[in-house]
Amino acid sequence: MARYFFDFLGSSLTTHDDEGADCPDKDAVSRKALEALCEIAADHPQRYLGQHLRIAVRNQADQVVMTASLQLSASWLAAEQTAAA
């Protein structure tokens, strides 16, 4: 099983993964990266609203082999915007 490192890249926060995780295949790497993005966004959705969140996945040779990203946005529809005001 290969070890991969998942670095989080956001406009207000960047983390460098020093521990990594063993993953049996590419699907597991992709799933872990996407789950991590969803967890980060779920913890503080307002903080990351309008931001482009990204995870860069590195292999044991320290090469970026995959990226995953998530864009958080929320928009009111015009009719509801007037009613809420």
Q: How far is C-alpha 65 from the chain's CA centre?
A: 15
pLDDT per position as a tens digit, 1-48: 999 999 999 877 789 999 999 999 999 999 999 999 999 999 888 888
Structural domain count of the chain: 1
| Length in residues, the chain | 85
Where do runs of H (alpha helix) occur along the chain?
26-43, 45-48, 78-84
pLDDT per position as a tens digit, 64-73: 999 999 999 9
Task: Please report which helix (H) or strand (E) contains residue 11, including its range.
Answer: none
* DSSP 3-state of 47: helix
Query: Domain containing 30: what range?
Result: 2-84
